[in-house]
């Protein structure tokens, strides 16, 4: 693997993410929202994710703006990044597929919202967040630049830590003891760890 191939892997990952996300977003918007937990902070965190995971790497790829922050590419880390990108896309796709109409970009509950506890959700409550952490890691390993590489992880961290407790409180408010029981038998992100 060389630096150009790593950048192509990153670009393919971005394109596949868009291909997975857009149709599901359109489909989800057809179901009425019954609980809306959106806030200005939420919108900022989501915007930062787009900036860190897409815009900053694209600027790095097509301009020399961040060139002074480049460091030597490691083929070994490039392969780890490629595997992380593949894991991200598999987890991201499966999360969307399992959530179906229950999915939302923001903190919302939709009409007929169900607590999904099958598939990946049998082991972890937030596989979509886990997938985003993997995307951030992939970007770090695929893009040898001190700005563009870690920008994804930084933005995912901001989103996750500003949102996770609110999301779980919203689910607890909707599903009560069933959600508490679900939390008792699952990890947040990584089975057996956290």
- Which residue do the tokens 């959700």 mark? 121
Closest CA to 53 of 175, 166, 143: 143
> What is the per-residue pLDDT for 172?
95
The CATH number of domain 3-185 is 1.10.1270.20: no
> What is the per-residue pLDDT for 135?
98
- Sequence spans of domains, the chain: 3-185
3-state secondary structure of 183: helix
Q: How close are the terminal C-alpha atoms of the chain, in Å?
A: 32
- Which residue do the tokens 């990584």 mark? 190
d(C-alpha 170, C-alpha 158), whole Å? 19
> What is the per-residue pLDDT for 12?
97
> What is the per-residue pLDDT for 26?
79
Neighbours of 71 (CB within 10 A): 9
Task: Give me the tens of pLDDT residue by residue for the chain, a chain 194 residues long.
Answer: 999 999 999 999 999 999 999 888 877 777 888 888 888 999 999 999 999 999 999 999 999 999 999 999 999 999 999 999 999 999 999 999 999 888 888 888 888 889 999 999 999 999 999 999 999 999 999 999 999 999 999 999 999 999 999 999 999 999 999 999 999 999 999 998 89
Encoded tokens for 13: 């990952």
3-state secondary structure of 33: strand
Do 59 and 148 contact (CB within 8 A), yes or no?
Answer: yes
Is the pTM higher than 0.85? The answer reads: yes
Closest CA to 9 of 116, 84, 103: 84
């Amino acid at each position: 693997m060389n630096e150009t191939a790593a950048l192509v892997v990153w670009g393919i990952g971005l394109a596949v993410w868009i291909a997975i996300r857009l149709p599901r977003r359109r489909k989800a918007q057809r179901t009425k929202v019954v609980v809306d937990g959106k806030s200005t902070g939420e919108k900022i965190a989501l915007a930062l994710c787009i900036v860190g995971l897409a815009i900053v790497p694209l600027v790095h790829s097509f301009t020399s703006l961040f060139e002074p922050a480049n460091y030597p590419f490691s083929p070994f880390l490039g392969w780890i990044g490629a595997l992380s990108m593949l894991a991200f896309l598999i987890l991201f796709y499966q999360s969307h597929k399992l959530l179906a109409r229950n999915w939302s970009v923001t903190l919302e509950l939709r009409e007929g919202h169900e607590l999904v506890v099958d598939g990946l959700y049998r082991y972890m409550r937030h596989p979509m967040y886990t997938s985003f952490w993997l995307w951030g890691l992939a970007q770090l390993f695929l893009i040898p630049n001190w700005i563009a590489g870690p920008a994804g992880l930084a933005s995912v961290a901001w989103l996750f830590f500003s949102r996770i407790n609110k999301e779980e409180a919203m689910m607890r408010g909707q599903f009560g003891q069933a959600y508490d029981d679900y939390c008792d038998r699952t990890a947040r992100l990584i089975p057996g760890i956290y």
